Structure 1
Amino acid sequence: MASIQLLPSGNWRVLIRVKGHKPISGTFSSKKLAAEFAKDKERHLEELRATGKVKAKDGTTVAHYIDDYLEYIQNGRTLQRSAIFIYKALKKRFGKIRIEKLSKYHLAAFIEDRKREGVRGVTIAGDLSMLSSVLRHCCDTRHLDIDPELADTARLSIKTTHKLKIKSDEVECVPTQAELDAIIGQYEGKTRQQINMPAVIKFALYTSMRQAEICGLKIEDLNSEEKTVVIRQRKHPTEKQYNDETVPLLPKAWGIVEKVIEGRRSGFIFPYKEKSVSTSYTRARSAAGIKRPTRFHDIRHKAISDFFAMGLNVPQVALMSGHKDWQTLKRYTHTKAADVHIAYADLHEKREESKSINNNMIKLMEQVQELVAKSQK
């Protein structure tokens, strides 16, 4: 299976060819190292052919395969800093354990330790989900003889065995129109205010965009004929790159844009830092005497609810908000019983108006027919 050749450079080259597998090759400084490499790879292929799985190399630990997984997935992809931080923490916790020795008892102890630290169940579940990705990589890509369901099974036990919630509590703190008016009122007469917060707040309300999206909009991406703008690299649940999306700007939002750019032809529409916008909003909320902890992001909730109240359907609202599925979008609707009654009343009124118009049209046609008949006599 393996051939070992001496190269003109004095190094030794190994080439292994097995039907059904890609050729394996390597170059080594001595024949002994080349022979050891060949023996190890042949054993690996033999185990794979016999059982479909192979044993982990001696001395390889969880840390080794976390690094291997990160190197594998980061080929052409940038991992978020929060994810890197979690993987570092997992390496610190489980790094010295041999991958095949990792057990449910290690994970149960991990959950209990995190619980004593005051960490929420949803956070622990996220950590275990990331560890699960590593184990599945070991099983599916490296063909290691381990249990790929180990971390997923532990994750399910968080709620049943460890009595922790694995879903975050949804706190409804959607600002009312009166609260937004009060917040905007805090900026009146402040000539030294560098951020045009009234325009930013109203634009968020008329578009449902995230503050990062608002602060990232560019004048060059506006289309004055179609009244649209391109949101670059829009947040996506799975894809991290190439998520540019063209969204419509409704009349009120477009009117704000025209005033804000004031003849400028390039640069950011709202040239402000995302964090500065959030901080300014929070300060104005406190100055307005609003006790509820509404955040700038909560304007997005109100905007989406307003879109549905306007009569826009799910696909139309999803295009505006950037959501990819109804299950996520429905968290932002905040539809109440009173809203259903109002919507029904509006529909009923429109239906009655339509009936009235139809009846009037019928009567008018009858009158026209009578006049035509009389004129022909």
Structure 2
Amino acid sequence: MARIRKRGTSKYQARVRIKGYPEVARTFSSNAAAVLWAAQREQQLLQGLGEALKEADALPLSVALTRYAETVTPRKKSAHSELNRIKVWLRQPLASLTLSSIRGKHLAEYRDSRILASASGNTIRLELAVISHLYEVARKDWGLEHLVNPVKVIHKPKLPRGRTRRLYNGEELALLNWCEQNENLRLKYIVIIAIETAMRRGELAGLTWQDVNLSTRMIYLDDTKNGESRTIPLSSRALGAFKALEDIKDTRTITSATASQNSSKSEIPIFNLHVDNISAEFLAARRGCHIEGLTFHDLRHEATSRLFEKGFNMMEVATITGHKSMQMLKRYTHLRPADLLARLG
């Protein structure tokens, strides 16, 4: 049986007691909310979910996050980044609340506090996504199927507008010349291949000679960011870059000749650079050329836009770039209106 009583001037306490289960109570800011919660709680108890309710009532978010980090996060490609987000959550006061007591208003308050702290909309959405997935895992795999995912009832911050930065006139040549002058041929060919193939930074960092077939002019990526394999055709310029790499014999690059002598070495990354090192070397080149506002990931934008400018349709471009949705592909594509004049006639 449920009882609702007013507490003070603006609070309502709902108390539910079913034979065989301990009495539970919760306070709400409106009578309607108290009545709704009490009715749902009664129904769940009568459906035999008492043990699950008891478990959720006693499971703090901090404990659930620790279990999630140990059993779910390691299976994700973004495990390192997600672990950092979990650490952020573990430092929040919310971490001491139980899963059943966390409501949408708590997460809305967290969202607003992060906005005030100048966190980007995308950062906040990714942080909320951790909690959302945690609740779904708890519902589907941990026997807490009665839980309501509180993330689903709040408004998410708007995503920022997609970057529109492309290479301006002379910037590509300046970057490549800087690499030549500073004897960083490795970065030179990374830049060329990135522009010609639209490969992501992580895909380039993990690329091995085993993935590259110069005879068929194809790159085969077995493990990409979106979890699907992808085959990338090589332009003549990209092919030339890979052939030039074969001739570079230093301690940082594995040649195809060496790889053929020892098959295990063919699995060593071609560039032998961590993703962060690629960004650092690109930043040094950019600063050396006095180029402002350009990131390495902008080369993927540039490559995608160039494919459209060459006349490829959306499905053909998606096959090369690996974009899973047309909406995402659109965000990464920025055509220069001036370049369309010739096709208009």
TM-score by shorter chain over 0.5: yes
Q: Give 1:233's aligned residue.
A: 223
Contact between 2:318 and 2:324, CA under 8 Å: does it hold in 1? Answer: yes
Aligned to 2:319: 319
Give the secondary-structure state (helix, strand or coil) at the position aligned to 1:174. Answer: coil
The 5 Å alignment of 1:73-88 reads 73=72, 80-88=79-87
CA distance in 1, matches of 2:67, 2:286: 47
Equivalent residues, number: 284
Question: How far, CA to CA, are the matches of 1:270 and 1:72 in structure 2?
Answer: 33
Q: CA deviation at 1:174?
A: 1.0
1:56 pairs with 2:48:
no
2:187 paired with 1:187: no
**Residue 229 of structure 1 contacts residue 248 of structure 1 at CA under 8 Å; is this kept in 2?**
yes
Q: Counterpart in 1 of 2:234? A: 249
- Asked if the contact 1:309/1:343 (under 8 Å) is kept, the reply is no
Letter in structure 2 aligned against 1:283: A
> Is the CA contact 1:56–1:145 (under 8 Å) kept in the aligned structure 2?
no
- Normalising by structure 1, we get a TM-score of 0.66
The answer for the alignment partner of 2:35 in structure 1 is none
Superposed CA deviations along residues 92-118 of structure 1, whole A, max 9, x for unmatched, are: 322221222223342233233323322
Tell me the residue number matched to 1:11: none
Q: Pick one of 197, 202, 219 that aligns with 1:207.
A: 197
Task: Specify the alignment match of 2:137 in structure 1.
Answer: 137
Confirm or deny: 8 A CA contact 1:217 1:269 kept in the other structure. yes
1:221 aligns with 2:219: no
1:202-259 CA deviation, whole Å, 9 max, x = no partner? 22222111233223222223223321122242111xx3xxx44322112221122112
Shift, 1:86, TM fit: 1.8
Q: In 2, Cα distance between the equivalents of 1:280 and 1:76?
A: 30
Identify the structure with bigger relative contact order (alpha carbons < 8 Å, sequence gap 6+): 2
**Native 8 Å contact 1:195 1:277 kept in 2:** no
Paired-residue identity, %: 22
Q: From the CA coordinates, give the structure whose radius of gyration is larger.
A: 1
Partners of 1:140 and 1:121 in 2: how far apart? 28
Equivalent residue number for residue 270 of structure 2: 269
**Paired residue type of 1:338:** A
Superposition deviation, residue 70 in structure 1: 4.4
1:83/1:74 CA distance change after superposition, 3 Å: closer
Distance in 2 between residues matched to 1:102 and 1:275, nearest whole Å: 37
Distance 1:130 1:216, change over 3 A: closer
Is residue 2:305 matched to residue 1:305? Answer: yes
Q: Distance in 1 between matches of 2:276 and 2:59?
A: 43
Match of 2:165 in 1: 173
| Ranges in structure 2 where 5+ consecutive residues have no aligned partner | 1-19, 22-42, 248-254, 260-265
TM-score by length of 2: 0.71
Q: Which amino acid aligns with 1:252?
A: R
Tell me which residue corresponds to 1:333. 333
1:151 and 2:151 are equivalent in the alignment: yes
Q: Which moved more, 1:304-313 or 1:131-140?
A: 131-140
> Aligned equivalents of 1:186 and 1:314: distance in 2?
34
CA RMSD of aligned residues (A): 2.9
Alpha-carbon distance, 1:75 to partner: 8.0
Query: Given the superposition, is the C-alpha separation of residues 70 and 273 from structure 1 closer, same or farther in structure 2, using an over 3 Å criterion?
Result: closer
Answer yes or no: is the 8 Å Cα contact 1:56–1:144 preserved in 2.
no
Q: Please say if residues 52 and 143 of structure 1, whose CA atoms lie closer than 8 Å, have aligned partners that are also in contact.
A: no
Distance 1:197 1:77, change over 3 A: closer
| Rounded Cα–Cα distance in structure 2 between residues aligned with 1:88 and 1:211 | 25
* Structure 1 stretches lacking a partner, 5+ long: 1-38, 41-46, 159-164, 346-377
Q: Which residue of 1 aligns with 2:30?
A: none
Question: Which of 245, 270, 275 is the aligned partner of 1:260?
Answer: 245
- Tell me if the contact between 1:204 and 1:303 (Cα under 8 Å) persists in the aligned partners: yes
Give the Cα separation in 2 of the matches to 1:182 and 1:231.
Answer: 30
CA contact (8 A) 2:304 2:333 kept: yes
Would the alpha carbon gap of residues 343 and 89 (structure 1) be closer, same or farther in structure 2, given more than 3 Å must change?
Answer: same
Give, in whole Å, the separation in 2 of the partners of 1:271 and 1:92.
36
SS in 2 for 1:246: strand
CA distance in 1, matches of 2:118, 2:147: 31
CA distance in 1, matches of 2:285, 2:279: 10
Correspondence for 1:120: 120
Per the alignment, do residues 176 and 315 of structure 1 end up closer, same or farther by CA in structure 2, a change over 3 Å counting?
A: same
Q: Which amino acid aligns with 1:56?
A: K
Question: What's the CA shift string for 1:16-58, capped at 9, x where partnerless?
Answer: xxxxxxxxxxxxxxxxxxxxxxx99xxxxxx989526441326
Q: CA deviation at 1:61?
A: 2.0
Provide the residue aligned with 1:100 in structure 2: 100
Pick from 174, 183, 196 the counterpart of residue 186 of structure 2.
196
Q: 1:76 to 1:103 in 2, by over 3 A?
A: closer
On the 8 A contact 2:196/2:235 being kept in 1, the answer is yes
